[in-house]
Structure 1
Amino acid sequence: MELTHLGHAALLVEVADQRVLIDPGNLSDIEDLRDLTAVVVTHQHKDHCDPDRVPALLAANPQARVLVEPQTAEVLTGAGHGGQTERMATGETVDLGGLTLTPVGELHAVIHPYVPRVGNMGVVLRAEGSPTLFHPGDSLDGEPGEVDLLGVPVNAPWGKVAETIEFVRRVAPSRGVLPIHDGLLNDTGRGMYLGHVKDFGGEGGVEVLDLRGAGPTSL
């Protein structure tokens, strides 16, 4: 499996001859991406699905399947960009060649009582002979089962580091965590969050596989 962190919540996953982009948001570098097998959107917020840039992304990748959380599909359709979309359903596996994608969860984490919760579906990616990856979107209550790699939202308006650490401990990825959702942090603040996750995300700590700025990385 080759992974590229494209900023904030966006990951490009290359495995089993597939190229899957997860969460092309407005804090991510998604220009110039070609030959995508699928574009996956966990929920409708702009830092995960940029309505100003997604149409150009889809036009440049007309062969890509567009797998989205159902409320997000409605938003894209209302904006005139819903023609390619397929609505994901929790627990229903999508086959992408030698790769399977399984949606997990239903609702976005609580931001505060005055912001309505929207739908959110994390995704588990599995391919024979490769690590299993869970990208949770913006929720920490998904139950992905056993996974090797866990995308961990580092910072968010809804985030609390104590809840992040408990999330990592509960899921207990066998190979480590991938920092995502970090676009609002400067380097010093980001390092502080990563230190907490590394030191307390498991008994004796957890490996943090930091892909920011690393380009395509084989895991």
Structure 2
Amino acid sequence: MQITHLGHAAALVEVADRRILIDPGNFSAAWHAVTDLDAILVTHQHPDHVDPEHVGALIDNNPQAQVWVEPQVLKAVELPRGEGLAADSTVELGGVTIGAVGGWHAVIHRDIPQIGNVGLVISAEGEPTLFHPGDSLATVPSGIDVLAVPAYGPWAAMKETVDFVRAVGAPQGFPIHDGLLHERGFQLVLGRMNAMTPTEVRDLRDGTPWTPQA
């Protein structure tokens, strides 16, 4: 498995000869020119996870890619094509299994309607298992080797994030959802995750592909 962080929640996962892009949102442009994708996955409808202005071109430029999105995305965002991926469902992509877990976005405020969110568990035989939770800390799947850790959002506090990372218990991880943090804030979160959880959390913001240990 090789993982490239393409800004905020976006990650390119290369595993079992498949190229999978997760959450191409509008806090980053690093994914705009990505091609040769086998799948495009979206955890929920917020624009920092699916950019309504540029996602259509991404899909058009990857005509062979399967597009699986949290079901509410199909009505909220205009896509050239796509299929709903509901919580507790699984799809196969060659030798890769993609499981959707959870179902709901974390509560931002009681006055803001809650929307759907699926966490994504990506696994392949002989490879580490990756969990990208989208915008929710409510679901803790078992057997996770690599965790994409939401570093900051208006829906989470550090105490919740620390407990989530501890509960998942993955040996390795990397921060995502960091688009609202300046450098000092990012380093604060990174330091706390490494000091207070069993997970070795790596900074992947330079865009260099990372190969987690099996």
TM-score bucket (shorter structure): over 0.9
Which residue does 1:71 correspond to in 2?
72
Question: In structure 1, how many angstroms separate the alpha carbons of the residues matched to 2:5 and 2:139?
Answer: 22
DSSP 3-state at the match of 2:190: helix
For residues 142-167 of structure 1, what are the alpha-carbon distances to aligned partners after superposition, in whole Å with 9 as ceiling and x for unaligned? Answer: 13211101111001111200000000
Correspondence 1:196 to 2:192: yes
1:210 is displaced (CA, Å) by: 1.8
For residues 89-147 of structure 1, what are the alpha-carbon distances to aligned partners after superposition, in whole Å with 9 as ceiling and x for unaligned? Answer: 22221100011000010100011112111000010000111110000000001132111
Which residue does 1:212 correspond to in 2?
205
Question: In structure 2, how many angstroms separate the alpha carbons of the residues matched to 1:149 and 1:216?
Answer: 14
Correspondence 1:122 to 2:123: no
DSSP 3-state at the match of 2:12: strand
Any residues of structure 2 matched to 1:175-190 within 5 Å, and which?
175-190=171-186
For residues 60-114 of structure 1, what are the alpha-carbon distances to aligned partners after superposition, in whole Å with 9 as ceiling and x for unaligned? Answer: 00111110001011213xx3x2x42111122221100011000010100011112
Which residue does 2:49 correspond to in 1?
48
Question: In structure 2, how many angstroms separate the alpha carbons of the residues matched to 1:49 and 1:117?
Answer: 17
- Which runs of 4 or more aligned residues in structure 1 lie more than 4 Å from their structure 2 counterparts after TM superposition? none
DSSP 3-state at the match of 1:157: coil
For residues 145-195 of structure 1, what are the alpha-carbon distances to aligned partners after superposition, in whole Å with 9 as ceiling and x for unaligned? Answer: 11101111001111200000000111111x212110001111111000111
Q: Is the 8 A contact 2:98 2:122 kept in 1?
A: yes
Question: In structure 2, how many angstroms separate the alpha carbons of the residues matched to 1:45 and 1:4?
Answer: 21
Which residue does 1:135 correspond to in 2?
132
Question: In structure 2, how many angstroms separate the alpha carbons of the residues matched to 1:98 and 1:6?
Answer: 24
Q: Which AA in structure 2 matches 1:212?
A: R
Which residue does 1:33 correspond to in 2?
34
- The RMSD of aligned alpha carbons is 1.0
Q: Which AA in structure 2 matches 1:126?
A: S
Question: In structure 2, how many angstroms separate the alpha carbons of the residues matched to 1:134 and 1:125?
Answer: 7
Structure 2: which 5+ runs fail to align? none
Question: In structure 1, how many angstroms separate the alpha carbons of the residues matched to 2:96 and 2:211?
Answer: 16
Task: Work out the number of aligned pairs and report it.
Answer: 211
Question: Identity of paired residues, percent?
Answer: 51
Which residue does 1:166 correspond to in 2?
163
Correspondence 1:147 to 2:119: no
For residues 27-73 of structure 1, what are the alpha-carbon distances to aligned partners after superposition, in whole Å with 9 as ceiling and x for unaligned? Answer: 12211100100000000000000000101101100111110001011
Question: In structure 2, how many angstroms separate the alpha carbons of the residues matched to 1:40 and 1:7?
Answer: 15
Q: Which AA in structure 2 matches 1:56?
A: A
Q: Is the 8 A contact 2:9 2:176 kept in 1?
A: yes
Q: Is the 8 A contact 2:128 2:145 kept in 1?
A: yes
TM-score in terms of structure 2 length = 0.96
